[in-house]
Amino acid sequence: MGTFSIWHWAIVFLVIALLFGTSKIKDLGKDLGSAVKGFKESLNADPKSTTDKSEDKA
pLDDT tens profile 15-54? 988 988 888 888 988 999 999 999 999 888 776 655 555 5
pTM score: 0.49
- 3-state DSSP assignment of residue 52: coil
What is the pLDDT at residue 45? 77
What is the pLDDT at residue 54? 54
Residue 58 domain-assigned?
no
Residue 50 domain-assigned?
no
What is the pLDDT at residue 53? 54
Number of structural domains in the chain: 1
Task: Give the distance from CA 36 to its chain's centroid.
Answer: 5
What is the pLDDT at residue 48? 67
The CA distance from 44 to 17, in Å, is 35
pLDDT tens profile 4-15? 899 999 999 899
Residue 56 domain-assigned?
no
**30 lies in which domain range?**
7-43
